[in-house]
Amino acid sequence: MQKLLLLGVEAIAQGAIDGGLSGVYAYPGTPSTEITEYVQKSKEAAEKNIHKDWSANEKTALEAGLGMAYAGKRAMVCMKHVGLNVAADPFINSAVTGVNGGLLVVVADDPSMHSSQNEQDSRYYGRFAQIPVLEPSNQQEAYDMAYHSFELSEKFGLPILMRLTTRLAHSRTGIEQLPVKPQNETSLPKDPKQFILLPVIARRRYKLLLEAQEAILEAANNSKYNKYIEGADKSMGIITGGIGYNYLMENYSETDCPYPVVKVSQYPLPKKHIERLFGECEKILVLEDGYPIIEEIVKDYLESCTKVHGRLDGTLPRDGELNPDIVAAALGLEVKTGEDTPEFVTNRPPALCIGCSHIDVYKALNESIEQYGKGRVFADIGCYTLGALPPFNAIDSCVDMGASITMAKGAADAGLVPAACVIGDSTFTHSGMSGLLDAVIEKSPITVIISDNEATAMTGGQNSSAFGRIEAICEGIGVEKEHIRIINPVKKNHDELVKIMKEELAYNGVSVIIPRRPCIQKLSRDKKKKRAAKK
Ligand SMILES: Cc1ncc(C[n+]2csc(CCOP(=O)(O)OP(=O)(O)O)c2C)c(N)n1
Ligand code: SF4
């Protein structure tokens, strides 16, 4: 079989395609976005008619993936870690319904928060849902796991969670492909009631999930991804998972690791290997990227708590991602520092692009709202979050997708009137719409600015589900037509935009202002694509 040079995320996409995928459902989010983009660009996926359009948010993506798995086909759902909070309801319930065709949920975590609001660890969600969790330690494993995950899912009749972290997602290596499998035929679940989670059925389904736990643990004990690796020096044993294993091996690239190692890449924890390690070694070092979940579990279920070292006792930093140097320090090895960074390499703070439409929106907003005083602009997540930085200093919050409208409503309820909020077009259809409905029902005095650049710009300019629909959605939700104001935010319209903003801030009810101008980066990328297509 040929070797392909792939990023970790691309390896997952190719593994899923080769493993019989019928549909990918996703909402973009770094570092997971390229899984879906790879399927979107794949000729093979197009020939096989694999579903690959973006979903409005992670919850709708997961539910659609579950629907495909209900119909007997193999589906993959992809998101970044915080997306799993949005999809948590169907995710946890999908472990109770179970699946018919295989369902793989891929979640990319971002320890050190390179492009995220937190560094939550999705392995907790897998444990919470009580389903098997896969965590690749390299790109080949990512490919193999995606390929085989559908069989595992169909064997247990449960969704499978695959968790990876940024460095694995975004580094590249050669991948050996496996023979391509056909897609499943459409079929109905054997138990026609299993997807109807009425309490009487849900209780029965939940018992089945609990009964499956022993077999799921046995599968982890015997998984080819989990290993006990012999080592002569028993003064220490090492438990490591995912990319932590890669970093460990990097420290012993010229010699064998002298300590016994348990490599964990399929959860629940392979108790068999861990008990052996505890029996043989004087102390235990846990190396894991993300939260100290392995460390917590082994401390809980094995007696000799004092011999476990890791993030919880300060042997490794409590937060941030792992790297080979942190691992070296924990192993007591010399930390080899690289060359000093040359002076001309300086940190470049993120900034809105010159010519970005959000700039004109913030210039007008700052001028319009000044008379009411500070602290009343609730924003959301997207390029426009950079309005928090100088020279704009225009926003006062950014919490999670959709929180701008709802927080403005709550602040207005508390008497902060007027309250304004800024949200992007993609974020609006992701999770802003339902908050707008709350505000309309209570006629809250808020001014909603949907800064529409006709793209999901922050994650690379993917199509936005809001495209061409925003004013119709707002009207449908019940915003009064005369308080839906649309304007092109360019310099020559600055005074007009300020006038509109002042009028709507003074209105005692819900108003929506839609400054609409395409993202210039997306525009220039689209132009290039068109030119290339003409050649
Ligand atoms: C729950 C969740 N899913 C995905 C993301 C990743 N993400 C951050 S901003 C954004 C979209 C922003 O698009 P839009 O609202 O249109 O604003 P723009 O960047 O175009 O200005 C996405 C997908 C996230 N932070 N949280
Ligand atoms: S990518 Fe687009 S939306 Fe983001 S800052 Fe640049 S121009 Fe603005």
Which residues are paired to 261 by β-bridges?
Answer: 229, 238
Nearest residue by C-alpha to atom 1 in ligand 1: 83
Q: Which pLDDT score, from 0 to 100, does residue 78 have?
A: 98
CB 456 within 8 A of CB 28: yes
Using the atom order of ligand 2, give the atom closest to the CA of residue 359.
Answer: 8
- Helix (H) or strand (E) run with residue 55 in it: none
Nearest residue by C-alpha to atom 5 in ligand 2: 352
Nearest ligand for residue 450 CA: 1
Nearest residue by C-alpha to atom 6 in ligand 2: 353
Q: Which pLDDT score, from 0 to 100, does residue 1 have?
A: 64
Residue 354 Cα to ligand 2 midpoint, Å, equals 8
Q: Which pLDDT score, from 0 to 100, does residue 335 have?
A: 86
Q: Is the dihedral of CA 276, 280, 285, 287 positive or negative?
A: negative
Q: Which pLDDT score, from 0 to 100, does residue 243 have?
A: 95
Q: For ligand 2, pick from 383, 459, 526 the residue to mutate: most ligand atoms within 8 Å of CB.
A: 383
Nearest residue by C-alpha to atom 4 in ligand 1: 29
Using the atom order of ligand 2, give the atom closest to the CA of residue 520.
Answer: 7
| Ligand 2 first shell, C-beta below 6 A | 352-353, 356, 358, 383, 453, 457, 519-521
Place of tokens 């602009």: 377
Nearest ligand for residue 465 CA: 1
Using the atom order of ligand 1, give the atom closest to the CA of residue 82.
Answer: 1
Residue 383 Cα to ligand 1 midpoint, Å, equals 8
Q: Cα separation of 50 and 168, whole Å?
A: 25
Q: Cα separation of 456 and 473, whole Å?
A: 18
Note down pLDDT in tens along the chain; length 535 residues: 669 999 999 999 999 999 999 999 999 999 999 999 999 999 999 999 999 999 999 999 999 999 999 999 999 999 999 999 999 999 999 999 999 999 999 999 999 999 899 999 999 999 999 999 999 999 999 999 999 999 999 999 999 999 999 999 999 999 999 999 999 999 999 999 999 999 999 999 999 999 999 999 999 999 999 999 999 999 999 999 999 999 999 999 888 999 999 999 999 999 999 999 999 999 999 999 999 999 999 987 665 567 899 999 999 999 999 999 999 999 999 887 778 888 888 888 889 999 999 999 999 999 999 999 999 999 999 999 999 999 999 999 999 999 999 999 999 999 999 999 999 999 999 999 999 999 999 999 999 999 999 999 999 999 999 999 999 999 999 999 999 999 999 999 999 999 999 999 999 999 999 999 999 999 999 899 888 888 7
CB 431 within 8 A of CB 382: no
C-alpha 312, offset from chain centre = 25
Q: For ligand 1, pick from 358, 380, 456 the residue to mutate: most ligand atoms within 8 Å of CB.
A: 456
Q: Which pLDDT score, from 0 to 100, does residue 304 have?
A: 55
Q: Which pLDDT score, from 0 to 100, does residue 301 have?
A: 65
Phi, psi of 385 (to 5 degrees): -65, -20
Nearest ligand for residue 352 CA: 2
Q: For ligand 2, pick from 453, 456, 490 the residue to mutate: most ligand atoms within 8 Å of CB.
A: 453
Q: Cα separation of 277 and 298, whole Å?
A: 11
3-state SS, residue 368: helix
Residue 50 Cα to ligand 2 midpoint, Å, equals 31
Using the atom order of ligand 1, give the atom closest to the CA of residue 453.
Answer: 20
Q: Which pLDDT score, from 0 to 100, does residue 213 have?
A: 97
Q: DSSP E strands: which ranges in 334-445?
A: 377-379, 419-424
Q: Cα separation of 143 and 19, whole Å?
A: 10
| Ligand 1 first shell, C-beta below 6 A | 27-29, 80, 82-83, 86, 381-384, 401, 424-427, 453, 455-459, 464
Token duo for residue 502: 């002042």
Q: What is the per-residue pLDDT across 35-56, written as a single tens digit (0 to 9) for each?
A: 999 999 999 999 999 999 999 9
Residue 457 Cα to ligand 2 midpoint, Å, equals 6
Nearest ligand for residue 385 CA: 1
List CB contacts of 193: < 8 A, sequence separation 6 or more.
201
Peptide bond into 445 cis (omega under 30): no
Q: What is the per-residue pLDDT across 123-137, written as a single tens digit (0 to 9) for each?
A: 999 999 999 999 999
Nearest ligand for residue 424 CA: 1
CB 448 within 8 A of CB 424: no
Rounded alpha-carbon distances, angstroms, from residue 22 to 44, 48, 55, 402: 12, 8, 16, 30
Residue 435 Cα to ligand 2 midpoint, Å, equals 25
Nearest residue by C-alpha to atom 15 in ligand 1: 424
CB 144 within 8 A of CB 152: no
CB 248 within 8 A of CB 323: no
CB 255 within 8 A of CB 249: no
| C-beta neighbour count of 328 within 10 angstroms | 18
Q: What is the per-residue pLDDT across 19-30, written as a single tens digit (0 to 9) for each?
A: 999 999 999 999
Q: Which pLDDT score, from 0 to 100, does residue 303 have?
A: 59
Residue 352 Cα to ligand 1 midpoint, Å, equals 15
Which residues are paired to 236 by β-bridges?
Answer: 283
